[in-house]
Structure 1
Amino acid sequence: MSLTTVPSGEQIWLLLGPLSLFALVTSITPGPNNIMLASSGLTFGFRRTIPHMLGVNLGFTLMLVLVGLGLDTVFHQFPWLYTVLKYVGAAYLLYLAWSIAQSGPLDGGRQRSQPFSFLQAALFQWVNPKAWVMCVGVIVTYTPQTGFYWNLILAAAVCCLINLPSLGVWVAFGAALQKLLHRPQAIRLFNIGMALLLVASLYPIAQDLIS
């Protein structure tokens, strides 16, 4: 059947439940985006972290659509490009971990650094290993070939709607800690803990290097 065939209502409902559960679990569990958002929420507050949060949400949605529309074929033709992107992303995550570990509290009413901008957060998705895993998982498992393009639009919409409040939970968690962590040393220790979790998220890539 054609890729553009409109799926039936029954097919959509059968897909919607599992897809929503997948989107929720992968969006709300710890990963580079959520760890960075929690740290940003603590350091800069919820309001100043909103552009970062929206950049992650819309950047991932666009990435999912582009990969689904055929960008993955580029990596099949040039597998080395995916490998390069993966290790560049790992190196960038290490840099971000170092930056988070160095982040401190408010200093005389001014921030020691700036939160991620919308564009920075959106572009970061292309070097985020978890974002790639989520994209591949959605496309392979939840976008049947019958009516593929319609299913891709549905998958992107579901992921976008579920992903945003899931990210907001992590920002709110970090922002809430501002009321509990008043001492600069406590904030520094929290950020160091987030940085270590970010480094730990690179475990699968480390395994590839060792094996």
Structure 2
Amino acid sequence: MTDLFIYMFICSFTPGPGNILALRTVCVYGFKNSFRLILGICMGYAIVQAICTIALYELNSYFESFINIIKYIGFAYMLFLSLNILYCSSVDSGSGKKPALLIGLVLQLVNIKIYFYIITLISVYFLPGSDGVSDLIYWGCVAVFVGSVACLCWSLFGVSMRNVYNNHCRFINLILALMLFYCAVSMLLG
């Protein structure tokens, strides 16, 4: 269970398209003017979570071996993420678009990081211990909550987090990459 929460924390709180856009937008427009964009990011996350949960639940009903394949793809994706985190530089400044709910929503719907993250969560952590749809809905809500809290944290602490991240980028990336590597190994051995 520890590796589940570490994986959720790292994937939700590390710089990704949604978090970076939220950070940049709040830095430029302030929290109040950026709220619709942030809401769009959170809504998009919830929609992707629902799509992936339904699809994988149905696939699991018919193709249980498919989930094992997804487990190894998830392992490879975690290793890929840990290497990308380790070698990435400071936060990108963003694209300069005005804040809007639709921009945040669409960003999440095309954000492949979220799909891989959610597919890995469901196939590795949620489906194996699930007693049915109600368990998947519960854990899906937990994942959406964690992702939304991460987006809000990046938004509320945007300027200071950006300064800290830029000043200590290498060290923070090393810690996050090692933690994600631990999750990948735990998943493979577990």
Same fold, judged at TM 0.5 (above):
yes
Q: Residue 194 of structure 1: CA displacement?
A: 5.4
SS in 2 for 1:142: coil
Which structure has the larger Rg?
Answer: 1
Conservation of the 8 A alpha-carbon contact between 1:55 and 1:119: yes
Unpaired stretches in structure 2, ≥5 consecutive residues: 27-33, 98-102
Are residue 141 (structure 1) and residue 129 (structure 2) matched? Answer: yes
When residues 160 and 33 of structure 1 are mapped into structure 2, their CA distance, relative to the original with a 3 A threshold, is same
Are residue 34 (structure 1) and residue 10 (structure 2) matched? Answer: no
Q: What one-letter code is carried by the residue in structure 1 that aligns with 2:147?
A: L
Q: How does 1:39-188 map to 2 (within 5 A)?
A: 40-45=21-26, 47=35, 48-71=37-60, 74=63, 76=65, 82-84=71-73, 86-88=75-77, 90-92=79-81, 94-95=83-84, 98-99=87-88, 101-105=89-93, 110=96, 117-121=107-111, 123-128=112-117, 132-143=120-131, 151-152=132-133, 154-178=134-158, 180=160, 185-188=163-166
Conservation of the 8 A alpha-carbon contact between 1:31 and 1:198: yes
Output the TM-score relative to the length of structure 2. 0.58
| In 1, Cα distance between equivalents of 2:144 and 2:67 | 33
Output the TM-score relative to the length of structure 1. 0.54
The count of corresponding residues between Structure 1 and Structure 2 is 170
Identical columns (%):
6
| In 2, Cα distance between equivalents of 1:57 and 1:190 | 31
Unpaired stretches in structure 1, ≥5 consecutive residues: 1-21, 144-150
Give me the CA root mean square deviation.
4.5
SS in 2 for 1:169: helix
Q: Residue 32 of structure 1: CA displacement?
A: 0.9
| In 2, Cα distance between equivalents of 1:40 and 1:80 | 33
